[in-house]
Amino acid sequence: MKPSWRPLVVLSFCFAVTAAATLTVACKKGPSGPPPGGPVEVAVVTVKPEKIVLTTELPGKTSPYLVAEVRPQVNGLIRSRAFEEGSDVKAGDLLYQIDPAQYQAAYDQAKAALAMAEANVPAARLRAERLKGLVEIKATPRQNYDDALAALQQAEASVEAAKATAESARINLSYTPIRAPIPGRTGKSSVTVGALVTAYQPVPLMVVQQLDPIYVDVTQSSAELLRLRQGLESGRLKRSSESWSRVKLLLEDGTPYPLEGKLKFRDVTVDSTTGSVTLRMVFPNPSNLLLPGMFVRAVVEEGVSGDAILVPQQGVTRDQKGNPYALVAGKEGKVEQRILTLDRAVGDRWLVAKGLASGDRVIVEGLQRIRPGADVKAVPFAAAAKDQQVSAKADPAPVKADPATAPAPAAK
C-alpha cells in the first residue's frame, strides 16, 4: 500500500501562499508607530469671589444660671421636709422645718423684757420733769434733777436694747423654716427628718439650681482671637453686634439645639495653662434638655466675608513638606503651580487666604496625568451631581424631587 503524500503537499502549498500574502500587506502598510500626542483634558473650576458667613465651633460646658447651696442658719432638729427631690420650686417655698420651740421661747422672753423696759420709762420721765420744775424755783438741789435725768436716759436705753434682743430672737425664729432662696430644681437631700443640723455647716442640706435659662461657657484660643481681630481691622471680615451675639449650639451627639442663645461677655484674662479665654453664653431651656455639666459645641458667627475665594478640596494637594498648592490652567493652556495659604475648611471646600485670584481656573480632575508646564485642555467641572451626593450623605433627610425635572415613569 503506497503512502498518501498528496494531502501533505497541498497543505504546505496553502501555508506558503498565506505567508506571502501577509508579507505583501505588511509592506504596503509600512512600519506602525505611536499615535500623535496632544493636550491632556482636565476639569477645572473657575474661581469667583463669594459672600459667605464664617463661623467657628468652640467646645464648652453647660452650667446653671443660678446656684444656691441651702444651709441652716440656726441649730436644731429637722422636724419635716416639704419638697420632693428633683422637683421644681419657687423662691420662698418651704424646704425644711427646724424645731422652733426654743426659738419661740427666746422670742417670747425677749418681748417680755422689752415690755418691762418700756414700763419703766414713763415713771422716770415724770420724775425728771417734776425735779426740773423744782430746780427752776430752787426748791431742790440740782444733783437730784441730774440723777433723775440719767435714770430716764438709762430707761430709754434699756428699751432700745430690749428691742434689739427681741428682733434678734425674732430673726432666729424666722430661720427655723428653711425656704428656697431662688427658683429652680432641687437636688438630693443630704439629711432626713430627725437629723441634727448646725448653723452654717460646711455640708449643704441640698442644692437648688435654676436651669431656665442656662449658661454655656466655651473657650477660645488667644491665637484665634487675634486672627479674628486682624480680619476685622483689615476689613476682610464685617459683622454687626446682633449677628455676633447670636449663637447656635450642638449637643454631645452632634444634633443641633433648636433654640438660639446670646453671647453675654468675653473674659478679659487669658488662662496661662491653656492659652485661651472664656466666653459665656446664655440659652433658653424651657424643656430642661440642657443639664449642668453637659459638653456641647457652640457655633459662633465670626463675620461676613464679601470676597471669599473657595476651591474644592480635591483641587488642593500638598508637597513633601506639607505645603498646600493648586495647579491652575493658564490662559495659554499651560499648567501653573500656585502655593496657597489656607484659612479653614468650609463644607467640602477650602477658604483660600492667599495664592489665587478671581478668574483663575483650578484643576480638580486629571491631576495625576499632568505636571507644571504641560499643555492641557480645560473643560468645566461638572460638580452638581457630586455636590448632591455629598449633601445626601451629610443630610440623611429625604430630598423632595422637583416635578419639573423628575424623570418620567417607566412604561409598564
As given in the structure block, the three cell numbers for residue 271 are 488662662
Task: Quote the pLDDT of residue 27.
Answer: 42
Q: What is the pLDDT of residue 62?
A: 94
Q: Please answer whether residues 194 and 76 qualify as being in contact, where contact means their C-beta atoms are separated by less than 8 angstroms.
A: no
Same domain for 91 and 190?
Answer: yes
Q: Are 211 and 189 in contact (CB under 8 A)?
A: no
Q: How far apart are CA 63 and CA 269, in angstroms?
A: 20
Given this model, what pLDDT does residue 230 score?
66
The pLDDT value recorded for residue 24 is 45
Digit-coded pLDDT (tens) for 156-171: 999 999 999 999 999 9
Distance of CA 283 to the CA centre of its chain: 10
pLDDT recorded at residue 236: 60
The cell numbers describing 387, all together, are: 455636590
CB 216 within 8 A of CB 61: yes
* Shared-domain flag, residues 327 and 297: no
94 and 186 inside one domain: yes
25-40 pLDDT per residue, tens? 444 444 443 345 578 8
Looking at the structure of the chain, the number of domains it has is 4
Domain membership of residue 110 as a residue range: 100-175
Specify if 125 maps to a domain: yes
Asked whether the beta carbons of 362 and 399 are under 8 A apart, the reply is no
Distance CA 196, CA 174 (A): 18
CATH number reported for the structural domain that contains residue 225 in this entry: 2.40.30.170
368 and 349 housed in the same domain? yes
In a domain, 403, yes or no: no
CA distances from 153 to 79, 103, 120, 144 (A): 44, 30, 11, 15
How much is the pLDDT for 238?
A: 63
Which segments in the chain show pLDDT lower than 50? Answer: 1-17, 19-35, 384-412
Cα–Cα distance for residue pair 409/407, rounded to 1 Å: 6
What does the pLDDT read at residue 307?
A: 81
State whether 82 and 190 are in the same domain.
yes
